[in-house]
Amino acid sequence: MKAAVLHGIRDIRIEDVPLPEPVGVAATLVRIDAVGVCGSDVLRFSVGKGYGFPLVLGHEMSGTLAEDSPSGRLKAGTRVAIFPCIPNPDDPMTEIGEFTLGTGYDYFGSRRDGGLEEYLRVPERNLFPLRDDMGLLEGAMVEPAGVALHAVRKAPVPANASALVIGAGPIGMLAAQWLRVLGVTRVIVADVDDRKRRLAERLGFETIDAAAGPSDEQVLERTGGRGVDIAVEASGLALTFVQAINAAAHSGHVILLGDLRDDAVLAKETVSRILRRELVLHGTWNAKIAPRDHSDWDMVIAHLGRDVAGADLISHVIDIDDAQQAFTDLADRAQWSNKSMFAVSEAALAEGARILAESFSAEVPA
């Protein structure tokens, strides 16, 4: 089968490799259709942040079952989203369904080969059937949408709640949409990128030009000095983490969704603000797939493509054969992009052409 294999820093080669071995028990052969590009994939390509080489990248995946699942619950031809974490059965966190909070787990696309190949063998527990009206590329958006949902569910939503999301990339825009679904009345999105702000506005959000001044100061001005009930940091910068703290109202909740790229040093004034405003800071990691039928992923599949836009965030659809050039362009920021997707199957390639003809992200002018 065809695979895009990362052999070292900035070195992806298209190769013919054997079909993958089963992963534990109850594994099902899945034909991979679409794979989203995460910022962590770009880092593994550009600086080698990972668990070694060679490696097949890709943990945001959709696919089609090539055979019936071992239990017979899922039939060949079923289209699925694939949860990338394979929990450690001996970890106590696994017993309570907190699969990604344990130790010694396995993970498609980082600790083991991921989705940039034609087939994977996937544990049945990790397979989530898509709705009939969901597309294959939308299915690959389930993973990042689950990460965003899991994060914002940390905060309670009071009456007439307000929120700030700093960072209008795919995760930030998914978080903003989930806040709206969960009942937040006013959601403000801040970003320095004019095209991403225009996309946020197309999706119905109030925006702040973060290049015109600190986001926290602008939010305090717009809210009469009160701040917001929920502040989400989705840029991954120490500066914006502090801005999220400063933008939070009394008894507000601050969610650290971005994985910081630099060290955060909190001044004593910032710590005093956390104390005196009785702020709650939330760490968040990945998403939950348990209990089944009531998990983050189940909610994502119920809403994505309906009241949470996924396809409109896609700016580029890429053939797997072009993986080396695509990752080089992303690492070098050679062109503007929002959500980049690999189409591994012919069906996904055809669907991708239709999506790009309609996607907000593909049509937002420079």
Q: In total, how many domains does the chain have?
A: 2
Same domain, 71 and 192: no
Indicate whether 64 belongs to any domain.
yes
Query: Which residues are bridge partners to 209 per DSSP?
Result: 191
If pLDDT is split at 50, 70 and 90, which confidence band does 366 have? low
List the structure tokens of 107: 């993970």
Same domain, 6 and 114: yes
Same domain, 265 and 175: yes
Indicate whether 289 belongs to any domain.
no
Tell me the average pLDDT across 127-146: 98
End-to-end Cα, the chain, rounded Å? 39
Asked if residue 13 has pLDDT above 70, the reply is yes
Indicate whether 299 belongs to any domain.
no
Domain holding 180, by residue range, is 146-283
Q: In what order do the strands lie in the sheet with 2-8?
A: 11-16, 2-8, 55-56
Nearest to 118 by CA among 10, 35, 11, 9: 35
Indicate whether 48 belongs to any domain.
yes
If pLDDT is split at 50, 70 and 90, which confidence band does 231 have? very high
Tell me the average pLDDT across 5-12: 98
Query: Which residues are bridge partners to 308 per DSSP?
Result: 304
List the structure tokens of 327: 């990752």
Same domain, 190 and 253: yes
Residue 332: enclosing H or E segment and its boundaries? helix 323-332
75-108 residue pLDDT tens: 999 999 999 999 999 999 998 999 999 999 999 9
306-345 residue pLDDT tens: 999 999 999 999 999 999 999 999 999 999 999 999 999 9
Indicate whether 293 belongs to any domain.
no
If pLDDT is split at 50, 70 and 90, which confidence band does 363 have? confident
Same domain, 156 and 180: yes
Which region, left, alpha or beta, applies to residue 49 given φ > 0 means left and ψ of -120 to 50 means alpha? beta
Indicate whether 304 belongs to any domain.
no
Indicate whether 216 belongs to any domain.
yes
Indicate whether 186 belongs to any domain.
yes
Same domain, 9 and 135: yes
Which of residues 266, 283, 300 is at a domain's end? 283
Look at strands 228-233 and 162-166 and give their pairing. parallel
Same domain, 137 and 152: no
List the structure tokens of 96: 């309570």
Residue 358 is predicted with a pLDDT of 86
Q: Would you say the C-alpha torsion 30, 34, 39, 44 has a positive or negative sign?
A: positive
